[in-house]
Amino acid sequence: MKEVLDKTNLWVANVVTDLPSKHLLGSALFLLLSISATFSQKALIDFDSLANQYNVNTVVLDMEPLYEQKSEIELVNVWINDRTLLLIACLPDFRNENNVWRKLSIEETSALDINHSGLSEQIDKVRRGAHLENGYYFKLVKKINGHYFVNDHTFFQFFKIEEYPRAINTPINTINVERSFFSLKDMIAHYPELIPDESYSPMPWQENTYKVYNDRHMYGYYTSGSIDWNGKKGFKLWTFGHYDVIDGPSMHMGVGRFVYVPKIGVVGGSYDFYYYFDNPKNGSPKYHRYDISKEQWEENILSEKIAIGNLLLR
């Protein structure tokens, strides 16, 4: 941090030395404060540092077949250990031509402050058995061809990986590939038997209420089948939960439908909460996010349609 401050102070000193007027001094200080504000909102973490410390697998998803709007999502699977997976989803910026990465200016690069202490604290909590909510905790920075880029919408989600026998209950936030296959359509069909006088709808526009549910004990990831992914066996999973936040995008839904490959990580998925809701307080028009009808949304969800990616080489 001290080194970063020294570089920043040196840059300011050079600017001040060459300034012919107070107006330019004010402009330079304003620019510096703007850069500082840009990075002060969320701590920055570095991709290369993660890759050097952990086993990391990255895939890129083409989301256009799913939402009919040109965009990509970069999934970074960080293996904390054999039973703990951190999924970092670098989501597109709907207010910046749906780009995933934003190139940093020379000034922003000079003020770059990489700090992994907050992430290390989160990882320690998970290692001790804590359940951490999904969220935008940090921003991921990556160096590409000598230039730094940042993802402004970095979404974090932790998974526990277990192989419990089918008779054992699978806890929330846990991927259990030994779980009996049970599709989303199966849940809709059997839900009235499980919760009498109630029905289940996975559609984001129908469950966006403050309603208190009696089925939270069933929340989690259900396995609906298996597929072949580049010669490896992958498992199709879907997230059981509700879109029950009326003033936000229901981030707890996370990667709603996804493919998990043992030892690799999540290699395909959908992010309906992000594409459907965006951020109601600072949102973008829906035509920047998706161009599918309500009927197409329903078909995507009920058929458990996802975008599949290929592994990127480091």
The 10s digit of each residue's pLDDT in 197-235 is 888 889 887 654 445 567 888 899 999 999 999 999 999
Segment 21-72, tens digit of pLDDT: 444 434 433 333 333 334 446 789 999 999 999 999 999 999 999 999 999 9
pLDDT at 280: 57
Range of the domain at 23: 1-41
* Same-domain check for residues 302 and 266: yes
Give the amino acid at 172. I
| Residues 173, 175: Cα–Cα separation, whole Å | 7
Q: State the pLDDT at residue 57.
A: 97
If asked whether residues 108 and 9 sit together in one domain, one would say no
DSSP symbols for 42-111: SEEEEHHHHHHHSEEEEEEEE-HHHHSS--EEEEEEEEEETTEEEEEEE--BTTTTTBS-EEPPHHHHHT
Instruction: Please say whether the beta carbons of 223 and 176 come within 8 A.
Output: yes
pLDDT in tens, 68-93: 999 999 999 999 999 999 999 999 99
Cα gap 153→138, rounded to integer Å: 9
Kindly report the average pLDDT of the chain as a whole number. 83
Sign of the CA dihedral running 116, 121, 127, 133: negative
The predicted model gives 289-309 an average pLDDT of 95
pTM: 0.83
In sequence order, which residues have a C-beta less than 8 Å from that of residue 165 and are 6 or more positions away?
178
Q: Are residues 206 and 145 in the same domain?
A: yes
Antiparallel, parallel or unpaired: β 72-81 and 84-90 = antiparallel
Q: Do 175 and 37 fall into the same domain? A: no
Identify which has the larger pLDDT, 314 or 160: 160
The pLDDT of residue 237 is 97
Instruction: Give the per-residue pLDDT at 13.
Output: 30
pLDDT at 10 over 70: no
Q: Which range has the top average pLDDT, 39-48, 104-113, 232-241?
A: 232-241
Quickly count: other Cβ atoms within 10 Å of residue 14's Cβ.
Answer: 11
Please check whether residues 6 and 126 belong to one and the same domain.
no
Shared domain for 157 and 254, answered yes or no, is yes
The verdict on 146 and 27 lying in the same domain is no
187 and 208 housed in the same domain? yes
Between residues 237 and 276, the one the model is more confident about: 237
* 161, 253: one domain: yes
160 in the same domain as 88: yes
- 36 and 55 housed in the same domain: no
Find tokens 């991921």 and name the residue: 140
> How many domains in the chain?
2
**Is residue 8 domain-shared with residue 142, that is, in the same domain?**
no
Q: Dump pLDDT digits (tens) for 132-187.
A: 889 999 999 999 999 999 999 999 999 999 998 887 889 889 999 999 999 999 99
What is the mean predicted confidence (pLDDT) over 284-313? Answer: 90
